[in-house]
């Protein structure tokens, strides 16, 4: 194998780069997960994750992926044969709906074009039609990783309330948690699903369910088959700082440090940083003369940007050239977007200079691959980043 100088640029929208500080935490020796040292860590991460989700209610932490957390949300709060309303906003919303069918739920899917978030007006109409309240949950993806589109969750909550419908609201935040402002309690969400490998800056391996009192009440009436995912057992054990089964001890070490890092920076600053990098990326894309997949500016994602390739040019060929020539990984187009888009991840442990390098790699790759574009995308992004740096300096000076 040939050595490549410098570091690999992992610019897919997750798993993201793991900071050295988190890696050093994970690298510690494993300890007794029934002992007092672990108990202190258990309490710390359980309370810390409440702050991440912006909730006063419990957050359940699983040794498992986001897919597992999807399943946990459904099997803990619903009953066999229950009807759920889901919005097709991209690849991952489609996967969640398929999983719902596999666990024995009836799924009503609102179709979408993969360029917009969940349609709150269509959801409200469907709920108004549901006079018997057969629909027991509305499930949406907050930030669709496959498309770079963010659904406006307060509008979904308003749609449910306008219809005076009792359905639970379940939201996937796997690629938005700790990157895009998300308010579980304030937005009236009943179950929020999360994962460790994106904004939380950890490797894959932890899944999360943040749950409301309404969801916990539904859980008491739920008859869905479950064992490992059962909220009741986990919450009972969590009350003492432990888990009923073996937890992902070393990942929890990393989670404790990741929460510390987020809070040292400050959540408002974290969200503003992601917003800044997303806007700089979009300015680069426009300067290149390329099109952003997301069709609604109010729904632009601050975690990633999906870029459409010009007709006749293959996005995967372009990605291959960027990887071979510049040692940078960009996100692929998934399922019906395969070969049509590439995705630039700008989330997690990421700063202005990393973004500038990322966009330079994209611009050079466009040239090498012979993709029609205009020069100047990096310059447009840098101009925005410099202006924002000047503005922040002025604010600090005035404080």
Average pLDDT over residues 44-54: 98
Q: Is residue 61 part of a domain?
A: yes
Amino acid 333: pLDDT:
98
Q: 346-360 pLDDT, tens per residue? A: 999 999 999 999 999
Of 263, 280, 301, which one is at a domain's C-terminal end? 263
3-state secondary structure of 332: strand
Same domain, 210 and 89: yes
- pLDDT class for 398, splitting at 50, 70, 90? confident
Q: Which residues are registered as beta bridge partners of 59?
A: 210
Whether residue 395 is predicted with pLDDT greater than 90 in this model: the reply is: no
The set of residues, in sequence order, having a beta carbon less than 8 Å from that of 265 and lying 6+ positions away, is 273
Of the three residues 195, 229, 263, the one that is the final residue of a domain is 263
pTM of the model: 0.97
Residues 6+ apart with CB under 8 A from 258: 19, 22, 178, 200, 201, 202
β-pairing, 341-345 vs 328-332, is antiparallel
Compute the C-alpha angle 292/142/226, nearest 5°. 140
CB 137 within 8 A of CB 168: yes
Alpha helix segments (H runs only) across 78-172: 91-102, 120-129, 153-162
Same domain? 245 vs 286: no
> Is 97 in the same domain as 245?
yes
Domain end position, chosen among 241, 263, 285: 263
pLDDT digits (tens, 9 = 90+) for 211-268: 999 999 999 999 999 999 999 999 999 999 999 999 999 999 999 999 999 999 999 9
Q: pLDDT per residue over 80-129, tens digit each?
A: 999 999 999 999 999 999 999 999 999 999 999 999 999 999 999 999 99
> Are 104 and 201 within one domain?
yes
Q: Is 238 inside any structural domain?
A: yes
> Are the C-beta atoms of residues 48 and 256 closer than 8 Å to each other?
yes
Half-sphere exposure (Cβ direction) of 70: Cα atoms closer than 13 Å? 22
Residues of the chain above pLDDT 70, percent:
100
CATH at 236: 3.40.640.10
pLDDT band at 396 (very low <50, low <70, confident <90, very high): confident
pLDDT of 1 above 80: no
Helix, strand or coil for residue 106? strand
Residue 340 falls inside a structural domain: yes
Query: Does residue 194 form part of some domain?
Result: yes
Domain that includes residue 88, residue range: 20-263
Instruction: Report pLDDT for 141.
Output: 98
Residue 51 marked in a binding site: no
């Amino acid at each position: 194998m040939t050595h490549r100088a410098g570091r690999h640029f992992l610019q897919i929208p997750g798993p993201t780069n793991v900071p050295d500080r988190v890696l050093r935490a994970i690298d510690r020796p494993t300890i007794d997960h029934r002992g007092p040292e672990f108990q202190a860590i258990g309490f710390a991460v359980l309370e810390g994750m409440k702050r991440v989700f912006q909730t006063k209610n419990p957050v359940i932490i699983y040794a498992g992926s986001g897919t597992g957390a999807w399943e946990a949300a459904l099997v803990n709060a619903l009953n066999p044969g229950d009807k759920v309303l889901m919005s097709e906003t991209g690849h991952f919303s489609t996967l969640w709906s398929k999983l719902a069918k596999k666990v024995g739920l009836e799924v009503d899917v609102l179709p979408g074009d993969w360029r917009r978030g969940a349609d709150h007006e269509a959801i409200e109409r469907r709920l108004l039609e549901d006079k018997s309240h057969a629909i027991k949950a509305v499930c949406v993806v907050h930030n669709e990783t496959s498309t770079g589109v963010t659904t406006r969750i307060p509008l979904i909550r308003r749609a449910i309330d306008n219809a005076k419908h009792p359905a639970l609201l379940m939201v996937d935040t796997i690629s938005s948690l700790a990157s895009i402002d998300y308010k579980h309690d304030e937005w009236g969400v009943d179950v929020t699903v999360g994962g460790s490998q994106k904004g939380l800056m950890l490797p894959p391996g932890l899944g999360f369910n943040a749950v409301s009192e309404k969801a916990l009440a539904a859980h008491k009436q739920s008859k869905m088959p479950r064992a490992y995912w059962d909220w009741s057992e986990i919450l009972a054990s969590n009350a003492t700082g432990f888990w009923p089964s073996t937890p992902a001890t070393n990942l929890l070490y990393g989670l404790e440090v990741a929460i510390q890092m987020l809070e040292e920076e400050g959540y408002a600053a974290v969200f503003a940083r992601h917003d800044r990098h997303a806007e700089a990326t979009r300015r680069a894309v426009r300067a290149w003369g390329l099109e952003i997949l997301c069709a609604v500016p109010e729904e632009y994602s601050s975690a990633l940007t999906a870029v459409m390739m010009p007709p006749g040019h293959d996005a995967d060929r372009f990605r291959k050239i960027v990887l071979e020539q510049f040692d940078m990984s960009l996100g692929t187009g998934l399922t019906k977007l395969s070969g049509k888009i590439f995705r630039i991840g700008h989330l997690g442990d990421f700063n202005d200079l990393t973004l500038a390098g990322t966009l330079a790699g994209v611009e050079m790759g466009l040239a090498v691959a012979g993709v029609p574009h205009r020069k100047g995308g990096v310059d447009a992004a840098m101009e925005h980043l410099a202006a924002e740096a000047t503005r922040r300096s002025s604010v600090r000076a005035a404080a």
